[in-house]
Amino acid sequence: MTDHQRLLQLTETLKIHARKYYVEDAPEISDYEYDMMQKELRELEEKYPQWAQPDSPTRRVGGAPLEQFDPVTHRFAMESLQDVFSLDEVRDFDARIKERSPNAKYTCELKIDGLSVALTYEHGQFLRGATRGDGRVGEDVTENLRTVYDIPLAVQEQRPLVVRGEVYMSAQAFERVNREQEDAGAPLFANPRNAAAGSLRQLDSRICASRGLSCFSFNVQNARELGFASHYESLQYLKKQGFAIIDPLLYSGDIDEIAEFIRSVGEKRGELPFGIDGMVIKVDDLALRDELGSTAKAPRWAIAYKFPPEEKQARLLDIVVQVGRTGVLTPNAVFEPVHLAGTTVSRASLHNRDFIAQKDVRIGDTIVVRKAGDIIPEVVSVVREKRPPDAVPYEMPSVCPVCGAPVYEDPDEAAIRCTGAECPAQLARRVTHFASRDAMDIEGLGPAVAEALLDAKLIATPGDLYFLQPEQIAPLEKMGDKSAQNLVAAIDRSRSQPLSRLLYALGIRHVGQKAARVIAVRFPSIEDILRASEEELTAVRDIGGITAHSLKEWLGSPQGGHLLGRLREAGVNMTEPVTQTGTRLEGKTFVLTGTLSKYTRSEASRLIEEAGGKVSGSVSKKTSYVLAGEDAGSKLKKAQELGIPIITEQQLEEML
């Protein structure tokens, strides 16, 4: 056998076995045998590229990455369907159709939870594949769709053919992909549909190929041109052409039989190897479809029955409290694993103390679980009659489960927060805030660098930043010697920031930029603030009781004291420059808007307040002046309407 003959033989043999494996789910050879044949074919194609077939199985592994997806105008509009949510609405649809055509028949098909695509063939070859987009214009994802084994690269039909399909990810492929994501430290996909969407829109088709997407084809877009009179007939034609069509499907004109089919599929949908979110009922007669036409939004000849969210019962094994980056304690239900909407779930958020109290959720209860929008697991209710006699009401912890600091229960909201200044759960956010421009202004220390320092265990508190050495930082990803030296230099410069910036950088609840400034002006050293009572603090203009209490509580906590000690040890400045507080702007209220050229807004606000003025966030009749920069918006317009003076930065300087 010549090399040419062997290449052609391997191409056809692999196409047959690929169909049996991916489409018919009936493999006849082992994965190893298939891989060895594909390896041999690839070697022959590299040696004789002129002989490689356009529908070769080697085209399924992806090619060179694209720079972008080109737009594609659909020859046939890809319409969406009208959703219905009850069998009564399905019967109403049938009545409307039967009023026009008493003997009308329907196809009833599974509604796959995936992404719609249009597949175009010419002269028997797969020419182009595009996403639905807005129904009229989509994106060219041909190279990615070539990697999907359910989509034939060649068909017997030589006339132009346009097929509509639904790309999806099976439950098995979804679990594999998420395992790989977890192993790589990458974010997990929320559900199979999201995973399929993310895979199909990869510019590198090799990534798409690795995800194992599938596709059901469910419509011949140009069926009338090809001489079809029946949709069911066109589906059988697609099957003969090598497309995977949706199974099971029902062909019937009996609405009772259709209703029973919908009920039976709904009861078993959790057992399917792919996700569905409903059933599609379509008029089968294509001529009748033409008569019925479409509304501006959807065809009149089809509807999509949407299943209610699938619900399962499970025993609640535990309630685990997690601490978020903002310090909020969130209770999570841990329950016996159940299969819902295509994935196995065993956890769901219980949100907050009010949610638990409202539903009276107790450890040991049997709970009803579903996926909101078929995506996020949620606890719907408690099955009270199955409650164990020893189940007791759940109480949220009084201390942080991560760091042991007391928790703060805000009477105005359901959230409970950790008060720990050095809580590990909040550390990445705290370090990023500490280094931010309006706080200690450490250039180059953003969220990614903060995460890298924490992951490498180089810091455990913001105070540890000041003890870092360049040689410790340089080995981190995307750093190097120069970047490490620049970061250490930026950290060193921040030691001299005034007390007002440090107070804000500490991230104390209720102590924002403005409060930090006025406190530091009145008490210009950290020792002054430590000595001040809550009453003395509240005597400061714009400082209320809540802010004063929060500040004193933080300063008196073990973690707050430790962090201040670490900062003192590092030589961080803890005083505010004593400035002569002016009275030139006393009694005047300013509003800042737009982009200032000479100052940042916080710098301009500080100058105004140091001169006795007040800065407000909104324009009113009490506003004295509006300081307007470039691209000023609605505040400037309102000031003009109220006749409030508009000033520039130069005019502000003159006032000062």
Which residues form the catalytic set? 111
Are 142 and 160 in contact by the 8 Å Cβ rule? The answer is no
Are 218 and 166 in contact by the 8 Å Cβ rule? The answer is yes
Distance from chain centroid for Cα 324:
17
Pairing of strands 329-340, 376-382: unpaired
Give me the half-sphere count of Cα atoms (radius 13 Å) on the Cβ side of residue 341: 25
Tell whether the torsion through CA atoms of 308, 313, 314 and 315 is positive or negative: positive
CA proximity to 440, closest of 400, 500, 485: 500
Q: Specify the DSSP class assigned to residue 488.
A: H
- What's the CA gap between 268 and 262, in Å, rounded? 10
Phi and psi dihedrals of 475, rounded to 5? -70, -10
Are 216 and 166 in contact by the 8 Å Cβ rule? The answer is yes
Q: Classify 547 in phi/psi space as left (phi over 0), alpha (psi -120 to 50) or beta.
A: alpha
User: Amino acid identity of 602?
Assistant: S
- What's the CA gap between 17 and 20, in Å, rounded? 5
> Which tokens sit at 202?
């990869």
- What's the CA gap between 613 and 583, in Å, rounded? 8
Count CB atoms within 10 A of the CB of residue 450. 22
CA proximity to 618, closest of 588, 654, 647, 591: 591
- What's the CA gap between 3 and 97, in Å, rounded? 59
Distance from chain centroid for Cα 572:
39
